[in-house]
Amino acid sequence: MKKNTLSYKMAQYLMFAGVSTVLFCGVVIIPFIYGLYLTFTSWDGVSRSKPFVGLANYAAAFADADFWSAMGRTLIYSAIAVILVNIVAFLLAYMVTSGVKGQNFFRAGFFVPNLIGGIVLGYVWQFVFKRAFAALFGVSLLGTTGPNAMIALIIVSVWQYAGYMMLIYVAGFMSVSKSLVEAAQIDGCTPTQSTWYVTVPLMRSSFVQCLFLSITRCFMVYDVNLSLTNGEPAGKSIMAAMHVYNQAFTYRNYGTGQAEALILFVVCAIVGVTQVYIGKKGEVAA
Amino acid sequence: MRKQISLAMAAAMALGMAVPAAAEGTPITFFNSKMEIQTQLEEKLQDDYAADDVTVYYSSDTVAAEMAKVYSAKTPYTVAMVDAKDIYSLGVEYGVDLSDQDWVANTTQAIEIDGKVLGFPVCVEARGLIYNKTAIEEITGEEFVPENYKTLDAFKELLDTLKEGGMESPVAIMKEDWSLAAHYLAMFYEEREDVNAYIDALYAGEADVEGDARFNSLMDTFDVLKENNYAKDAAGAAVREDSEMYLADGDVAFMFGGNWDWAVMAEFDPEGEYGIMPVPQNDAEEYYTLVGGGSKYLFVDNTEYTTDEQREAGKALLNWFANDPEGQDFLVNTCALVPAFSNIELEVADPLGQSVKAFADADMLTPSYNYLPDDHYAKLGQSMQAYLTNDLDRAGLAADIVEYWKNTTPVER
């Protein structure tokens, strides 16, 4: 059988990736296209009729001040959370690869928060912020005015994601050959200098991955948002994904909600892809 | 040893294969959106209801989201429990006309649209100020008669007496948006002769909310409640279950809520003496009513995904609730609901329900307005939360209300 024919290649592709392609199309591509179609209708989410309304939903989305407030809030939250998640994750990774006693235990321990679902995590931390804070400091961190709810969201996100990102940084640290670090130290580098000038540049791909993952996760945050603050107080902690959900399912403006979801997707994709492009461009190999 | 292992495995297999005795009758599905009666429904309808094979479902999602899901998946429930507004939005398209059913004659709460009865009222619910009679009487030393505190001035005096008597903060206010906006704020639309005309004026941006007598009267009372709220310093952090517990335990004497709160209060002190009274207002005589009516409605699916047999079984189930002594007992005693049917003569089980029934029987129930837009409770709930935490003044709240209605597409009615 000739190996360079299209049918052979197709058969090979289907054999190895057929099932996953079907699944990917079924749960991602087709719903995405169908969702795109719904942005041009005024469907309420239930009715049989889906009247075509052209670009009205996009106009409504661009005019929806609440959506843009939520988007602005998401940008601020993401910017702070992404930076903190990565700093904490990097420091944890540095610590658990430095030969400290019981480092495998610590690795597992720091990773555990990531295994707890966002909804459960939100309720657990709600208890901490409301009850424990009230008992210890006489004031609750949630439900009070000011940016407290946003601070709480950031703390929980850092706690949740830092352990996961830590694992990627750990892999990055491990991938850097010890001989390079030793060579640098023989040449007179202090341990800090060898980390900064040798190890960090060589694990740039870890930074790219971690930043991409944390950016996309923070932009799409919904579960923790729902269970921890539910948008309170007075809607001051409603993130973009929660607004989209409310718009589509609670306010029953499915078309507008879908259009807003698409805008959120585009913003998130632009930020994520730009970050990966810039990050990859400067990657160096040992 | 081997023999024992074999025996254990055989026993495990037998257990795995064991299935409950096959239920008889038509298989139908029932969607429940009233969390507090889920266990009762499961136990009764799934295990005890002999006529048909009912499977009960519950979702913590919003009713609208759940309905969107099942109708998109083309797997609708045979009978679904939804809110009144859902009957208006779903019923016309997906509901069976129930006009010919026997129970229709026995209720004033069924939802009828274009001459067709589409919604079966599960119960009557009403909102007002819940009070703990025992806690009040322990301090005042005299019998608590709610009618003596119809006006805000008299109510304020009572609060002062309670505070002097050692009850530090006699009031609890829930911070939930649905409680603040859909239940409290909505009273200012509902407490008037022609609600539709006022709502139309709001849509047109022509209503003067800031100068409105009803708005100011209710917000005057809200200010007093706010001032005496046990969670005054962090009103936005109040936990609903805590508030209900404090009320049941007598740490506070009043809480704005409804008879649905009994489900939680009963967990703490089911023997206490409680009741619901209208929200005190200085122009009390005219507005001395609870606000409520039929709550939670059942509709039977009319789509091709439900068979005629299932529809008949669904109708039979509604009939069982309304007319069968066992169904009536289940509604009133097992679920502790206030029935919406005049033929049900059973004594209402819980004290809050008894209050509601007394007001309903005395024709002192202002009907709930069922055409509020879907986002009303969320958006104006945010404004009410800000007002509760003193981040918004009354003029700001009035401006938010005007702005909200002006920018909202009118709901068809």
pLDDT tens, position by position, B117-158? 999 999 989 999 999 999 999 999 999 999 999 999 999 999
Residue B185 has a CB neighbour count (10 Å cut-off) of 26
pLDDT > 60? residue B23: no
Q: Which DSSP string do the residues of B95-148 spell out, in sequence order?
A: BPP-TTSGGGGG-S--EEETTEEEEEEEEEEEEEEEEEHHHHHHHH-S---GGG
pLDDT > 90? residue A249: no
pLDDT > 70? residue B2: no
Positive or negative CA dihedral for A136, A141, A146, A151? positive
**pLDDT tens, residue by residue, A206-243:** 888 899 999 988 998 999 898 888 888 888 889 999 99
pLDDT cut 90: percent of chain B above it: 49
**One-letter amino acid of A10:** M
Q: What is the mean pLDDT of residues B54-73?
A: 87
Band the pLDDT of B9: cuts 50, 70, 90: low
**pLDDT tens, residue by residue, B212-246:** 999 999 999 999 999 999 988 888 878 888 888 89
User: According to the model, what pLDDT value does residue B334 have?
Assistant: 86
User: According to the model, what pLDDT value does residue A158 have?
Assistant: 92
User: According to the model, what pLDDT value does residue B1 have?
Assistant: 52
pLDDT cut 70: percent of chain B above it: 94
Domain range summary for chain A, segments of one domain joined by +:
58-281
Q: What is the mean pLDDT of residues B375-379?
A: 89
CATH class of B126-290+365-406: alpha beta
Band the pLDDT of B198: cuts 50, 70, 90: very high
Report the gap between the CA of A276 and the closest CA in chain B (Å).
Answer: 36
User: According to the model, what pLDDT value does residue A23 have?
Assistant: 96
**pLDDT tens, residue by residue, B289-323:** 899 888 899 999 999 999 999 999 999 999 999 99
User: According to the model, what pLDDT value does residue A236 have?
Assistant: 85
- Ranges in chain B annotated CATH 3.40.190.10: 2-125+293-361, 126-290+365-406
Task: Provide the CATH topology of domain B2-125+293-361.
Answer: D-Maltodextrin-Binding Protein; domain 2 (3.40.190)
Residues of B with CB under 8 A from a CB of A: 61-62, 64-65, 67-68, 71-72, 89-90, 93-94, 175, 233-239, 373-375, 378-379, 382-383, 385-386, 389, 391-392
Band the pLDDT of A97: cuts 50, 70, 90: confident
Under an 8 A CB cutoff, do A250 and B71 touch? no
Interface of A with B in 27-56 (CB under 8 A): 44-48
Q: What is the mean pLDDT of residues B405-409?
A: 89
Cα B117 to its chain centre, rounded Å, is 21
Instruction: State the pairing for strand pair B274-277/B365-367.
Output: unpaired
Interface contact A223, partner B, CB < 8 A? no
Helical ranges in chain A per DSSP H: 6-24, 30-38, 56-63, 65-96, 103-115, 118-127, 133-137, 148-175, 178-186, 191-194, 200-202, 204-219, 223-224, 240-245, 254-281
Structure tokens at B352: 């809050």
**Which helix or strand (DSSP H or E) is residue B207 part of?**
none
**Residue A138: left (phi > 0), alpha (psi -120 to 50), or beta?**
left
Interface test with A, best of B174, B233, B375, B376 (most A CBs within 10 A): B375
Q: Which residues of A touch B62 (CB under 8 A)?
A: 249-250
Instruction: State the pairing for strand pair B111-113/B116-132.
Output: antiparallel
Structure tokens at A256: 């507008």
CATH class of A58-281: mainly alpha
Interface test with A, best of B242, B303, B389 (most A CBs within 10 A): B389
Report the gap between the CA of A128 and the closest CA in chain B (Å).
Answer: 13
pLDDT cut 70: percent of chain A above it: 97
Query: What residues does B53 pair with on adjacent strands?
Result: B27
Band the pLDDT of B8: cuts 50, 70, 90: low
pLDDT > 70? residue B22: no
User: According to the model, what pLDDT value does residue A203 have?
Assistant: 86
Do the Cβ atoms of B210 and B395 come closer than 8 Å?
yes
Q: Write down the ipTM of this complex.
A: 0.76
Interface contact A274, partner B, CB < 8 A? no
